[in-house]
């Protein structure tokens, strides 16, 4: 097994764990945690391909990962703000209980 | 593939599993921090120092704290009565397992063509070649100055767009989280 393959398999495993968390948990915050894990797994793929790719001196993969980290931070801030607002409105963060779109 | 990689990978995967499996939401947030730290160590192990420390600063320093704040503000640390998993957990687990199977198959199927794989030797000399022992690629020496020059040169437009996005997200998050309170105050005044 080459090093790149090991990193790709770890990233696939973390992505699947995040997807399972996002699809199976009832708490909205835990769903966001799953999405964060999936984003991080994608970042690991980018860094691994940058490190073992043919042109690491161009820094393409690493810059992509840094921008991805910045976008993920914005996503987390807006997502958690939405969860807090939903909790104020519906008095729960249980996604199975939030089943109507009317205010 | 040294022992360090396996240790960090195990830490990351165990942290991720604990983050999605534990019952107490605060424990989930702490396990998420462990998973983020493991991923940052994997970045450092890949000679991406800047991305690794950015990961520590942004994820452990900001996102994990934000998650803990959101948990405390929503009072969601107690376990709900109907269990922590949704009614359709079996379908979600099946989908995640299917995704992992596809990803693992893709990685395994493309293994000989990935960068860093040993070039397949001709049949006559194959016996003398140690299997799956690729030449370790030299670590690319990347200084912060190089990253800064690239960010201010070739990637200056994405950098500006990210700056606008972060400002918009900050304002948007504050407005979204504040909206209900001002609405109630208005109702009270009327």
- Report the CATH number that the domain containing residue A18 is assigned in CATH: 1.10.287.3510
Residue of A24, A78, A94 lying closest to B176 (CB–CB): A78
B176:A20 CB<8 A = no
B117 in any annotated domain: no
Q: How sure is the predictor about B140, in pLDDT bands with cuts at 50, 70 and 90?
A: confident
Whether residue B129 is predicted with pLDDT greater than 80 in this model: the reply is no
Calpha distance A37→A14 (Å, rounded): 7
- B70: chain A residues, CB-CB within 8 Å: 29, 80, 83-84
Q: Is B134 on the interface with A (CB under 8 A)?
A: yes
Of residues B163 and B182, more confidence is placed in B163
B127 in any annotated domain: no
Calpha distance A5→A22 (Å, rounded): 25
ipTM score here? 0.93
pLDDT of B18-47, one tens digit each? Answer: 999 998 899 999 999 999 999 999 999 998
Structural domains in chain A (count): 1
- Contact call for residues B42 and A44 (beta carbons, < 8 A): yes
B160 in any annotated domain: yes
A95 in any annotated domain: no
- Contact call for residues B151 and A63 (beta carbons, < 8 A): yes
Residue of A14, A74, A84 lying closest to B165 (CB–CB): A74
Calpha distance A66→A46 (Å, rounded): 10
pLDDT of A28-59, one tens digit each? Answer: 999 999 999 999 999 999 999 999 888 888 88
- Contact call for residues A40 and A11 (beta carbons, < 8 A): no
B63 in any annotated domain: yes
- Give the pLDDT confidence score for residue B125 in this predicted structure: 46
Residue A97 phi/psi, 5° resolution?
Answer: -90, -20
Q: How sure is the predictor about B113, in pLDDT bands with cuts at 50, 70 and 90?
A: confident
Site of tokens 């950098």: B159
Q: Which of A66, A78, A82 to mutate to test the interface with B (most CBs of B within 10 A)?
A: A66
**Residue B14, domain CATH:** 1.20.120.1200
A103 in any annotated domain: no
Residues, chain B:
190
- Contact call for residues B132 and B114 (beta carbons, < 8 A): no
Structural domains in chain B (count): 2
A101 in any annotated domain: no
Residue B184 sits in which domain range? 142-190
Cα-atom radius of gyration of chain A, to the nearest Å?
Answer: 17
Residue A56 sits in which domain range? 3-90
Least confident window among A87-96, B111-120, B152-161:
B111-120
Which run of H or E residues covers position B120? none
């Amino acid at each position: 097994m080459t090093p790149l393959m090991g990193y790709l398999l770890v990233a696939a495993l973390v992505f699947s764990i995040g997807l399972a968390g996002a699809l199976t948990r009832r708490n909205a915050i835990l769903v966001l945690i799953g999405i964060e894990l999936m984003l991080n797994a994608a970042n690991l793929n980018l860094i691994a391909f940058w490190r073992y790719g043919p042109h690491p001196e161009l820094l393409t993969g690493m810059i992509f990962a840094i921008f991805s980290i910045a976008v993920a931070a914005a996503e987390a801030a807006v997502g958690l703000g939405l969860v807090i607002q939903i909790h104020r409105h519906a008095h729960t963060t249980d996604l199975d209980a939030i089943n109507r779109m009317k205010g | 593939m040294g022992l360090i990689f396996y240790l960090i990978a195990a830490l990351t995967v165990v942290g991720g599993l604990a983050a999605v499996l534990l019952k107490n939401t605060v424990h989930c947030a702490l396990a998420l921090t462990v998973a983020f730290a493991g991923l940052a160590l994997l970045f450092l192990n890949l000679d991406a120092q800047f991305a690794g420390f950015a990961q520590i600063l942004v994820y452990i320093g900001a996102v994990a704290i934000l998650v803990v704040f959101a948990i405390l503000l929503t009072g969601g640390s107690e376990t709900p009565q109907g269990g922590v998993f949704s009614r359709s957990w079996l379908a979600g687990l099946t989908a995640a397992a299917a995704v992992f199977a596809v990803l693992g198959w893709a990685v395994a199927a493309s293994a000989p063509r990935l960068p860093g794989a040993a070039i397949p030797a001709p049949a006559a000399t194959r016996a003398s070649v140690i299997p799956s022992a690729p030449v370790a690629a030299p670590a690319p020496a990347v200084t912060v100055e190089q990253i800064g020059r690239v960010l201010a040169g070739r990637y200056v437009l994405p950098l500006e767009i990210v700056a606008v996005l972060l400002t918009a997200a900050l304002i948007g998050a504050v407005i979204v989280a504040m909206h209900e309170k001002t609405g109630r105050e208005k109702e009270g005044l009327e």
